[in-house]
Structures are given as C-alpha cells and as structure tokens.
Amino acid sequence: MSDPIRVGLLGLGTVGQGVVRVLQRNAEEIARRAGRPIVISRASARDPNKARDCDLSQVAIEADPMRVVTADDVDLVVELIGGETPAFVLIGEAIRRGKPVVTANKALVAERGNELFELARGAGTMIAYEAAVAGGIPIIKSIREGLAANRVLSVVGIINGTCNYILTQMSLRGIDFGTALTEAQQLGYAEADPTFDVEGVDAAHKLTILASIAFGIPLAFERVACEGIARIQSQDIELAKALGYRIKHLGVAKRGMDGVELRVQPTLIADDQLLAKVDGVLNAIVVHGDAVGRTGYYGRGAGGEATASAVIADLVDAVRSLDTPPQHRVPYLAFQPDAIAPMEVLPLEKIESAYYLRVCVADEPGVLRSITSILAELDISVEAIIQKEPRAAEDAVVAIITSVVQEARFNEACARIEALPSVRSGFSRLRVEHFDS
C-alpha cells in the first residue's frame, strides 16, 4: 500500500472533530477502500488548547489556518471553517499550490463557487463539496454521477434540518413557532442566531448548488426566491392536516417551458407522499429525471459524524484522483465547465402551482360566496375547502386548496379577497407542491 495521504484540517468544530474521529476509528476500512491510508497531519483552530472530543495527539495544531494550507506535510486541505472570510482566501491559496480541497462550506460554494471552480480549473486541481448539501446523504454524487443519463426535471427537498425539526414539533404537539424555536435552540438543533436557518438562507445556498448540478447552469444564489418559516402558525398546520397535507420547508428547483424555478418556501405536500413523512432533523430530496422517474434520498442532514461521512467520501475520491488528468475527473458542477450555460430563472409571478389560502372572516351570511365568486371569476377552482365553526365571539376561519394557477393571477385573487369588508386580518397563503406520477 502507498504512503499515507496527509490532510490539513481547517476548523476543529463539531464536524472537524467528527472527521478526526471517523478517520481514526475506520482507518483500516477507509484505507482498504482508498488504496492508501488517509491521516490528518495538521489542523487549525482558533483556540488550539481547547478540550475536544477526539484524539489529536498525532496532529500538529495551528492557530493560523494559513500555516496549515502552506505546510509541506499537507497534501490536501479540508475546509470546515464556514462563511466567506477567511475561507475563500485559504481555499484560493490551497488551489494555487495545487492542493485539492474538500469543503463543507455551502455559503461559499453557492455564492463564490463559480470563481473558485474557475481558479481550480486553471490550476488543474479539485474542489469537492459533497458535505455542503444534506450532510451525510450522497446527493451531490447521486445527481452528478448516478443520474448522469437524465434530463433532470426537478429537484425538491427538505434541506434544512432546523426548519424541519421546528415544523415537525409544531405539527406533533401543536406548539407555536416561537416555542418550537426556543426548544430547538436548547437542544442544539438551532443556532443562537437562527436567522440563516429559519429565514431560508441556508436552504437557498443548498438549493443553488443542487440546481446547478441538475440543470448545468452557473451557481446563481442571488436568483433563488427565499422565504423562511417564521410566519407559519399552528392553525395553518392544523388546517393543512385536516385537508390531508403537511407543511414542509421545501427547496424547489424545477425546469419549465420558459425557464427554471428556484425557490425555498414553506409548502404543503399531500400526506401520502414520502417527503411528508420525513420528520425531525432528517433531510430528504426527491429528484425527477426523465429516464429514471423519481428517486428519493434521505438521511441526517447535519451533525458531526454524518457530515464527516460526506467529507471523508470526498477525501477518498480525491485520493483516487490525485495525478489524474482533469478531463478524467467528474466536473465540479456535473457538466463540463465549457458546457455550463445559464437558463432563464422565472420570476415568482410566472410560476404555477396550487395554493393553500387561509382567510379569517366575520361570521355572517354571504362571505363564502364572495370569496368563491372572486376565485371563480379568475378561473381558479376550489379543490378542497374547510371551514371551522367559529367559537363564541370569534371570526370564522376558511381554508381552501386551489387548482394550479399562475402566481400573478393568484395575487390578484388575494388582493380582491383581502379587500372584502368581511375579511379580517388573519390571512395566509402557501404553495402546494403536487407530485404527479
């Protein structure tokens, strides 16, 4: 067996410690697969002396990550610092030195991946990023290589575990968003500052990457329509249930006649769909290819060792590809760099879907007729409706599932319904995602 490959690890947080543990624990099996041992020679951490849940006795620890990147005894760099600064500079330096890079940095890949891959291409080296999307699920490899025969029609997924955990708790226990968020923070499933997760930014980063490898388009984070889950109320979850649906925070990348949809939104899914049954911190992704039909992938989307699993899979790939000419490697974004071409991203107004609409109305005759008349005038059918009996002194609540309609037309309907004198302030609308076939 050849000499060990020596890895420089930037970042010793949860994932970094997971990488150290799994590489040590499974050293023999990993070497049997990779054909040579993979060892961590150096690592960086802001506080080198902090106690950590892994054995670092054979690892030189640096406070300055650049010293890891430039060290002679580092053949390959794993970047687990996250964020743009200093990750971009560190990866750039590794690339210039011809050292392959494995990263779990979804923000960096989604926002500056086009630049990074161009740099790497120029230097003839690799950047691998399986861990950036859906933790331990090998979804990048599955789409990029496993489904290479297909014209990908759509990628739909639950790709933020924090949102899924919160929505699952709200659904199971009837608690409100704020309570569920606080609990998630206490359990470590949500950050102290949860903005990135609950506002959908994290999911939008991941969707950006999935859309690029699915459709062969450049990474276009700024084009993803992004909405979080903060406005979801318990009553929406209950009404959706009564109508046969679950509310999930979905990333959707879909190919249409006139362009692609790229959106991250809380969405209703019929409760007999497998995605509707993916609960807690699990992630799941359904890819629709023209040849294969729908294939689904689920697993832990976060956590130290689950993410480490993806990082190390990339390491094994990288070890195999060392000294391999670039044309023999899998292209960074699934398609050969010269074959990547932008596609029109549809504005939300042009996207068609069914809708869930919840309206609070005064408990008086004719209200339902007014609402359904507006819908009918705009050629929107009511596919399902539920009205809860008002309790004493309360307004009545009506929830409707509509037929498939272009958002612009549905906006018009909503504006007219909201303007009705008997409609109260509680008004909510969500997309419904249908999986035909």
Element (DSSP H or E) covering residue 74: none
Selection from 68, 62, 3, 86 nearest residue 38 by Cα: 3
Q: Contact between 241 and a copy of itself (CB under 8 A)?
A: no
> Distance from CA of residue 349 to its chain's centroid?
23
Among 192, 291, 392, 393, binds a copy of itself (CB under 8 A): 291
Q: How many CB atoms lie within 10 A of CB 331?
A: 18
The residues facing 294 across adjacent strands are 288
24 lines the binding site for a copy of itself (CB under 8 A): no
**DSSP 8-state symbol, 13:** S
Closest contact distance (angstroms) between CB of 423 and a copy of itself is: 39
Using CB under 8 A, which of the segments 41-49, 171-179, 191-199, 335-343 binds a copy of itself? Answer: 335-343
Backbone torsions φ then ψ of 15, nearest 5 degrees: -70, -40
83 interacts with a copy of itself by CB under 8 A: no
Binding flag, residue 242, a copy of itself (CB under 8 A): no
* Subset of residues 114 to 143 that bind a copy of itself, contact rule: CB under 8 A: 130, 135-138, 141-142
The answer to whether residue 277 is catalytic is no
Shortest distance, position 296 Cβ to a copy of itself, whole Å: 5
Quick one: 2 or 195, whose CB is closer to a copy of itself?
A: 2
Residue of 99, 141, 206, 248 marked active site = 206
Q: How many CB atoms lie within 10 A of CB 293?
A: 11
Q: How far is the CB of 283 from a copy of itself (least distance, A)?
A: 10
The two three-digit tokens of residue 371, written as one number: 């609402």
The answer to whether residue 336 forms part of the interface with a copy of itself (CB under 8 A) is yes
Question: Which residue type occupies 378?
Answer: L
Three-class SS state of 180: helix
Q: Is 385 exposed, middle or buried (0-12, 13-18, 19+ CB in 10 A)?
A: middle
Binding test (CB under 8 A) with a copy of itself, winner from 148, 362, 376, 415: 148
Binding-site string for a copy of itself from residue 153 to residue 172, where x marks contact by CB under 8 A and - marks none: --------------------
Within 10 Å of residue 418's Cβ, how many Cβ atoms?
12
Contact region for a copy of itself (CB under 8 A) — 80-88, 232-240, 291-299, 355-363?
291-299
Backbone angles phi, psi at 361, to 5 degrees: -130, 155
- Contact criterion met (CB below 8 Å) for 191 and 197: yes
The residues assigned a catalytic role are 206
- Give the residues lining the site for a copy of itself (CB under 8 A): 18, 22-23, 25-26, 29-35, 130, 135-138, 141-142, 145-151, 216, 274, 277-278, 289-300, 303, 305-306, 308-313, 315-317, 320-324, 327-331, 334-336, 339
